[in-house]
Structure 1
Amino acid sequence: MRTNPSFALDQVDEVRRLIREYPWVTLVSSTVAGELVASHYPVILDPAAGAGEIVLLSHVGRPDEQLHELGAHEMLVIVQGPHGYISPGWYDARPAVPTWNFVTAHLHGTPEILSNAENLRVLAALVDHFEDRLDEPRRLNGTPENADYAARIVAGTVGFRLRVTRFTAKDKMSQNKPAETVDRILAELDGDGPYASPALAARMRRARDSASEHSASEHSASEHSASEHSASEHSASDRAAE
């Protein structure tokens, strides 16, 4: 993925947040035969991972394990957040072309195959992760009958843990546009037109707020440095006068 400093998303915490909010990912492998294989599965973050780590837990069906040659080589995991079309008609009267705003992360790592017992625990954790939001969650092991059923079907899946060794993430949210243009884009995304997208509008606001906080932090640091430099000069002048 082509990178651009204006849209770079390099904070581990932000990438972890993206995974939590958009856990339906694309798994991509290049096989020994040179074929590209892609599958789609939900993932969760390993709670045992360190603060600066990204470790994924998931499973695939047995056929996909064979197609991906799971565990034999590196895998690419693509996380796709909110995205949408941005019309040049939302800008101003000057010549312009359309664009697409999006946030995505490309994660790389080699899957570690889990034992059947570990796989069953991961499946239960996956179910809990999504069922927790319901008023009456249906647990994988909620009843003895369901637990027995889950224990039988687990043989058809292969669990894995993927420790991300490197990633590239991009958060393209019109950061290169004037504030008034961003406001017009947000109004359209919040509206009821054919390209309305409240989720994308919310993501754009987060990107704008994050940029403002970063700018304020840099300004504060610059003022602090200038103040220290001024104090140092005054101190040197005082010593010279003595």
Structure 2
Amino acid sequence: MYIPRHFEIRDRDEILSFVETHAFGQLISTHQGRLYSTHIPFLLSDDKTTLLGHVAKNNPQHQDIENQQVMVTLEGPHDYISPSWYSVQGVPTWNYQAVHIYGQCKVSTDTNKIISIIETLTKKNEAKFETPWVAQYPASMLGAIVAIDISIDELQCKYKLSQNRSDLDRDQVIAQLDEAGSRGLATAMKASRH
């Protein structure tokens, strides 16, 4: 991805924290000579070297993804930025946060691995509920999916959060985003100042 210097994030811990927080993204590979994308939730392995996920066996992407270098894209809050929010002239733009991950992909039909991924994803996402749902998966359901492991070979991270604008312009953009209800992006912009 194109990353001008003032939008680039290099801190690995910051990037991996973003990956854990914004873990729904696109698994991009080639299938039969064409680009192919599947939108799935990902998990970061405990040692933070691998992305884990699963896809349906009926999804043709898994048929030729083994040992292929793939790309995963993840994004955070984003929104349109009007030049009318600036104190000095500007152009319309879009503020956002994005991570691209490149790595070698492995596919597994091992039932224990599939159960581990599904249970971990479920626990992570059910934790916010007062009475979390407990997973129980019949063998027929487990046989309909495959596990995906992607080694993290390269991380690219871009936070385009008006860092190229004055403090006054950034404050005005934050205020407008808050007013418009785009609070996640406003919060990200505030956090990027520290």
Give the distance between the partners of 2:166 and 2:90, measured in 1 at CA: 14
Residue 97 of structure 2 corresponds to residue 103 of structure 1? yes
Which stretches of structure 1, 4 residues or more, deviate above 6 A after TM superposition? none
SS of the counterpart of 2:51? strand
SS of the counterpart of 2:53? strand
Which residue in the other structure is 1:197 paired with?
182
Which residue in the other structure is 1:156 paired with?
144
Structure 1: gaps (5+ residues): 141-145, 210-242
SS of the counterpart of 2:140? helix
- Higher RCO (CA-CA < 8 Å; seq separation 6+): 2
SS of the counterpart of 2:193? helix
Question: Aligned in 2, Cα 1:167/1:154: closer, same or farther, shift over 3 Å?
Answer: same
Q: Which range moves more in the overlay, 198-207 or 54-63? A: 54-63
Q: Which has the higher strand share?
A: 2
Which residue in the other structure is 2:191 paired with?
206
Which residue in the other structure is 2:156 paired with?
168
Residue 22 of structure 2 corresponds to residue 28 of structure 1? no
Give the distance between the partners of 1:58 and 1:34, measured in 2 at CA: 23
TM-score, normalised with respect to structure 2? 0.93
TM-score, normalised with respect to structure 1? 0.75
Q: 1:1-242 residue pairs with structure 2 within 5 A?
A: 1-31=1-31, 33-47=32-46, 49=47, 53-66=48-61, 69-92=64-87, 94-114=88-108, 115-140=110-135, 146-147=136-137, 149=138, 151-191=139-179, 193=180, 196-209=181-194
Give the distance between the partners of 1:161 and 1:81, measured in 2 at CA: 22
- Checking the alignment, whether the CA contact within 8 Å between 2:36 and 2:61 is kept in structure 1 is no
Structure 1 vs Structure 2: percent identity of aligned residues?
27
- Checking the alignment, whether the CA contact within 8 Å between 1:56 and 1:161 is kept in structure 2 is yes
Q: Which has the larger radius of gyration?
A: 1
Q: Deviations over 1:79-133 (max 9, x none)?
A: 01111111000002x4321111111011011122232211111111111110111
Q: CA RMSD in A?
A: 1.5
- Checking the alignment, whether the CA contact within 8 Å between 1:113 and 1:160 is kept in structure 2 is yes
- Checking the alignment, whether the CA contact within 8 Å between 1:103 and 1:170 is kept in structure 2 is yes
- Checking the alignment, whether the CA contact within 8 Å between 1:7 and 1:175 is kept in structure 2 is yes
The Cα of 1:160 is off from its aligned counterpart by: 1.7
Give the distance between the partners of 2:130 and 2:63, measured in 1 at CA: 37
